[in-house]
Chains A and B, each alone.
Chain A
Amino acid sequence: MATILIVDDEPSVRDLIRDTLELEDHVVNEAVDGPSALEALRAAELPDLVVLDIMMPGMSGLDVLTELRGQPPTKELPVILLTAMSDDATTWAGWSAGANVFLPKPFDPGALLDWIDRVLEGGSEMEPTL
C-alpha cells in the first residue's frame, strides 16, 4: 500500500487512475493542475509516488517536474509522466526533466500498476520506455 498523488486536468483520466489504484488498495490524492499539485506537495506529507500528466492548462507537467527536481525534499520523489504526446521531443524533454517512467496515453491500467510496483520497489533504476 502506497500513497500516490495523481495530477491531471482531465477528470475521467483522474477517475480511471484513482479507481485502478484504489482497487489495489493504494491511497490516492488528486490535483487538477500544476500549481495545486505543487501546493499539495509542499503542505502535506510527501506521497510515495506522483502520476503526472504533461499537458495541462497554465503550467505543464514538465514545469511541475522541473520544479520538484529543483527542491531537495522532492528531488528523489518517484514521478511517472503521462502524456498524450508521444513525439521524440516531448519524450526527451520528459527524461531530461527527471521522470522515472514515461507512459504514453492511452495506457493499460495493468501496465501503470506494474510500473508503480517497479518504481516503488527498485527506486529510480528504471530503463526508459515509450
Chain B
Amino acid sequence: MTQVREGLRPLRPAWLSVSLVVSLVVVAGLLCLATLAWLPTVVDMPTQLGGIAAWWVVVLFVALAASSDVIYVPVRHGDAWEELTFVEVVIIWGVLILQPFPALASALVGFGLVALLMRRPAVKSLFNLGSYAVSGAALMVTYLALVGDAPRFGWRSVFALLVAALVFTALNLFMLSLILLAAEEVPPREFIAEQWALSVGMAVGSVGVATVTLAVFETSPALTAFAALPAVALWYAYRASSAHAEARERSHWLVALGQAVATPGEPEEVIPRAADALRRVYGADEYAVVLHSGQRFGSHEQWQPPSLMPREARTLGAQDLPPGWTAGVAVRLEDLSGGGVLALGSKQEPAGVTRHLPWARSWSLDDTDVPGLVALTTAVGSSVRAGQTLAALTEETAKLQAVVDHATDGIAVVDATGELLLWSPAARRITGVTVPAGATPPEIVQRVVTVPSGSGVELEYERADGQSLSLHVTRVDVPGSAAPSVITIRDMTRERRAERMKADFIATVSHELRTPITPIRGYADLLKRRWDKMSEEKRAQVLDTIEERANHLTRLVDDLLIAARASTETTLSVELQDIDVVEVVQEAARAFPELDGRITIEDAPPQMVRADRTRVTQIVGNLVGNALKYTPPDTPIQISFGPGDPTEVRVTDHGPGIAADEQDRVFERFYRIEDPLTMRTGGSGLGLHISRELARAMGGDVRLNSSPGEGSTFILQLRPEGN
C-alpha cells in the first residue's frame, strides 16, 4: 500500500472531518472483522498449511505482518516519496494459508504492535488498522467467492486473487483519498489519478510474490528462501537506488542553495529561496524564518522562536514548534544584523527513537548533519547581510549622485594621479566646459592642485561664450592615502557684482547726502557769523538755497525709502484715480527750468489714465531729470504721448544711448553706468529703479528703447481710465 507525503490544495465539505472519517473507517473495519468471524459457520473454509499447528502459523503471521509494516522501500513518485511495503503480500498469504478471520486478525495485531512500538499517533494508527480491516476483509471475501472449489494454484485461483487484490487496492485508495481530503484538503480525483497506476502495479506484484513463494514453500520448503531471494535483492536494489536518487536530489538543492546564497539581495529575495533549498536538502516539509527585525518567512507567520537559541542546531520540543509541526530543528542565523532563527521541520510523526535520514517515517536531523546545517545557515546570513550592505551602499551612492547632480556648485573629483573622476553637471554649466571622466582635468581644476586641502582661490574666469565670471574654487582631500580630492567651483559673479553695487551705492549715497548738506550747513554757519555783513537780499537768497537743498535732501530720502520698500514688499502702495496724464506731465515738466529751451511737450488732447497723480509726477520728473543729466546740454528732449491700452508717455533724448547689455541693468537698484568719482552729478542710482517699481505698482511699466549714438526713449506705460 502507499502513503502520501505531500498534500495538494482545497475543496473539503465542511462536515467532513478527520475524526468522522477515522470513526467511519474503524466501525467499518470492526464490522468486516465480525463478518469474517461469522463466515466459517456458513461457508466451508479451506484448511491450514500442511503439518504446522495453526497457532504457530498465527504467531508467524503476526510477526510477518509487523515486519512487513516496518520494512519498506521508498519510491519517488511525482513530487512525493512513497513507501512501498509488503502488507498486501502478507494479507494474500493469509487468505491462501489461514481461514479469513485468523488471517486478518493476526495481520491487524502485527500492524497494531508496530504502531505501539513506534509510538505512532493514535488517530493515524486507528485509521490504518480500520482501513486494513475493511480492504483486507473485502480481499478475502472476493477471493473466496470467486475461487470456489478450484485448486489453490490453478488459473481460476490466480484470477480470483488478482481481482481480490484490485478490490483491496481500490478500497484502500478510496479511504486514503477520504482522509487526505479531510486532513489536507487534497482533491480525491487528483489523488486517485496520481496513485492508481502505482497501486495496481503493487497489487499485481504482490499477488505474484505471494503465490510463487507459497507454491515453492509447499513443493519444497527448503527452496523457499531462494524464492524469496529475488524479492530481497529487489528490495536492496530499490533502497540503493532511492539512496542514490536522494543524494542526487540533495546535491541539486545544494546547488540551488549555492545560487541563492551567491546572489546577495534583500532578505525577502534571498531568504525564501535559500530556506526552501535548505528544506529540500535536509528533506524537511516546512521551514520558518524569523529575523530579529520581526520579518518572517515561511508558512508559519505566527511562530515565536525560542528566545535563547544556541549556535548549534537544536531539536525543537513540542512547546517550541510552529503550529502544525510535529518535528523540527532550529538554527541561529548568523551574520544577519540582529540575527534570526531558521527552523526546518516536519508535519509527519514526531522524532522518534530512531534518527532516520529524511526518507524515514519520522523526520529529524542526524548528528552528522548539524555542522553542515550550521555552516549553510551562516552562509545564508552572510548573503543577506551582504545584500543589505549592498542595498545600503547603492542607496547611499544614489543619494550622493543626486546631491552631485543637483548641487548649485560645480563639483569635480580628481584622483591621486591627477586623473578626473567626476565632473558634475553644475561644473559643466558654470565653466561651459565638458570633460569626460578619465580625462585630464580642465585648467580651472589644475589651479587648485597646489593649494592646501580645505582652502581655495578666487579667480576671474573667461567663459567660452565671452561671459566673465568670478569663481571661488576650493579643494578638499578625502582622508586616506592616495585618496581623491574633491574640488568645488562656486560662481560668485552675482555676489561680487552685488558687493560692488553695494560699495558703489554707499559711495553714491554718501556723496548725494553730503552734497546738499554742505550748502545747508555752510549757509547756516555763514548767517550766524556774518548776519550783519550780509544784505537783506543776500539773506533771502541764502535762505531760499537752504530750503531748496533741504527739499532735495527730503526727496532723496523718500527715494531711498521707496527703493527699500520695493525690495521688501510685494506691492508699493499707490492711490489710483482717473487723471489726465497730459496735464500731469505738463505740470511735472514745468518744474524744470530748461522747459523753454531743451524740453518740448507734444500738444496732445487730454488722455485719461488710472494712476496715482503724485507718482506719475515723480516718474516723469525722474525720466526727464535722467535725460537732462545724461545728455549734452544743447540736445533736445521730447515728451510725447501714445493713447490706447497701455497709454504711453515717451521721453526721448538725443544723448549717447545705452548699450543693449546695459538696457535691463539701468533699472536695477543702485546701478550706475559710471565710475562714482567722475560720474555726472546727481542721482543715487535709484531713479529708474523706483520709477519702474512705481509704474508696476500702478499696473503699468517703464520700458526703454535705445541704440548707442542715437539716444534713448524711456516709455512710461499706464492703464487707461476705468481699468
Chain A residues at the B interface, C-beta cutoff of 8 Å: 9-10, 12-13, 15-17, 19-20, 23, 54-60, 62-63, 84-85, 87, 90, 104-110
Contacts and interface: CB of A to CB of B under 8 A. Distances in A.
Contacts of B538: 19
A55 B517 CA distance: 15
Interface in B509-535: 510-511, 514-523, 525-526, 529-530, 533-534
B518 A56 contact: no
A59 B530 CA distance: 34
A12 B681 contact: no
B521 A19 contact: no
Given A9-B681, A58-B678, 12 more contacts: A12-B516, A13-B518, A15-B545, A16-B519, A16-B523, A16-B545, A54-B677, A55-B676, A63-B678, A84-B518, A85-B510, A106-B520
B311 interface: no
B677 to A, nearest CB: 5
Nearest to A20: B526
Contact of B514 (A59, A84, A108, A109): A84
A67 to B, nearest CB: 14
A31 B534 CA distance: 24
Contact of B507 (A13, A85, A106): A85
Contact of A23 (B518, B521, B530): B530
A23 B533 contact: yes
A13 B681 contact: no
Contacts of A57: 678-681
A110 B525 contact: yes
A108 B526 CA distance: 8
Contacts of B522: 13, 16-17, 20, 106-109
A12 B534 CA distance: 17
Most buried by B among A12, A59, A108: A12
Nearest to A87: B507
Given A19-B538, A105-B514, A108-B522, A55 B679 contact: yes
Nearest to B530: A23
A23 B526 contact: yes
B542 interface: yes
Given A20-B522, A23-B526, A59 B678 contact: yes
A87 B511 CA distance: 11
B549 interface: yes
A110 B521 CA distance: 11
B319 to A, nearest CB: 90
A92 B518 CA distance: 22
The 10 A-B pairs of least Cβ separation, nearest first, read: A57-B680, A84-B514, A12-B519, A106-B518, A84-B511, A16-B522, A106-B521, A105-B518, A106-B517, A16-B519
B678 A84 contact: no
A37 to B, nearest CB: 14
A26 to B, nearest CB: 13
Interface of B: 507, 510-511, 514-523, 525-526, 529-530, 533-534, 538, 542, 545, 548-549, 676-681
A16 B545 CA distance: 9
A17 B679 CA distance: 22
B677 A15 contact: no
A87 B538 CA distance: 35
26 contacts: A9-B681, A10-B515, A12-B516, A12-B548, A13-B515, A13-B522, A15-B519, A17-B522, A55-B679, A56-B678, A57-B679, A57-B681, A58-B678, A58-B680, A85-B510, A85-B677, A90-B677, A105-B514, A105-B517, A106-B514, A106-B521, A107-B522, A108-B521, A108-B522, A109-B525, A109-B529
Contacts of A85: 507, 510-511, 676-677
B518 A55 contact: no
Nearest to B546: A12
Given A108-B525, A109-B525, A16 B678 contact: no
A84 B525 contact: no
Nearest to A13: B518
Contacts of B520: 106
Nearest to B677: A60
A57 B632 CA distance: 12
B515 to A, nearest CB: 6
B514 to A, nearest CB: 4
Most buried by A among B516, B520, B525: B525
A95 to B, nearest CB: 16
B519 A55 contact: no
Contacts of A55: 511, 676-679, 681
A61 to B, nearest CB: 9
Nearest to B522: A16
Contact of B526 (A10, A19, A54): A19
B276 to A, nearest CB: 82
Contact of A13 (B510, B519, B529, B530): B519
A126 B521 CA distance: 25
Given A9-B681, A62-B677, A84 B530 contact: no
A92 to B, nearest CB: 14
B596 to A, nearest CB: 19
Contacts of B514: 84, 104-106
Contact of B515 (A23, A84, A87, A110): A84
A104 B507 CA distance: 14
Contacts of A84: 510-511, 514-515, 518
Contacts of B677: 54-55, 60, 62, 85, 90
Contacts of A9: 681
Most chain B C-beta atoms within 10 Å of own C-beta, residue among A19, A58, A110: A19
Nearest to B675: A60
Given A23-B533, A60-B678, A106-B514, A12 B525 contact: no
Contact of B518 (A16, A63, A87): A16
A105 B515 contact: yes
Count chain B CB atoms within 10 A of each CB in A87, A106, A107, A108 and give the residue with the most: A106
Contacts of B507: 85, 87
Contacts of B515: 10, 13, 84, 105
B676 to A, nearest CB: 7
A58 B538 CA distance: 32
Contacts of B516: 12
B680 to A, nearest CB: 4
Counting chain A CB atoms within 10 Å of each CB, which of B516, B534, B542 scores highest? B516
Contacts of A54: 677
A105 B708 CA distance: 36
Contacts of A17: 522
Contacts of A58: 678, 680
Contacts of B525: 108-110
Contacts of A10: 515, 518, 681
A59 B680 CA distance: 9
A87 B521 CA distance: 21
Contacts of A109: 522, 525-526, 529
A12 B676 contact: no
Contacts of A19: 523, 526, 534, 538, 542
Contacts of B679: 55, 57
Nearest to B513: A84
Nearest to B542: A19
A9 B516 CA distance: 12
A128 B548 CA distance: 33
